[in-house]
Amino acid sequence: MKQIINTTGAPAAIGPYSQAVKANGFLFVSGQVPFDPATMQIVEGVEAQTRRVMDSLKAILTEAGCTFANVVKCGVFIKDMNDFAKINAIYAEYFPENPPARFCVEVARLPRDVFVEIDVIAAC
């Protein structure tokens, strides 16, 4: 059985997908991009975009009864690998202990040409 998770603390889905799906003790969170959930406008700058993405992930995790401590895997998609250190520094703030498994790749293009998109899987 699956449960659809939605929160106003993260941007509404802009396509045929859910913010997250909880199933069999796992939470699968769709990739989050840096839209301000109140205005659906993109925040400016790589650091601000990364923080917005992480805050959206936090809101979805919270709505599902989870925290970043429950995250077991992250996928990080970035526009420019030269921004890796900036993105990684902010990402690390949200995982101060026992960080999850992760991959990070540079991609040709992200929605609305944002700098970063992150998805997570959590056990909760």
pTM: 0.97
2-123 sits in which CATH class?
A: alpha beta
User: Which amino acid makes up residue 95?
Assistant: F
Q: What is the mean pLDDT of the chain?
A: 97
Looking at the annotation, which residues are catalytic? 104
What does the pLDDT average to over 105-115? 96
Residues 6+ apart with CB under 8 A from 16: none
Break the chain into its structural domains and give their ranges: 2-123
Sign of the C-alpha dihedral, residues 80, 43, 5, 15? negative
Question: Quick check: 93 pLDDT over 90?
Answer: yes
Q: Measured between alpha carbons, how far is residue 15 from residues 19, 78, 111 in Å?
A: 10, 21, 12
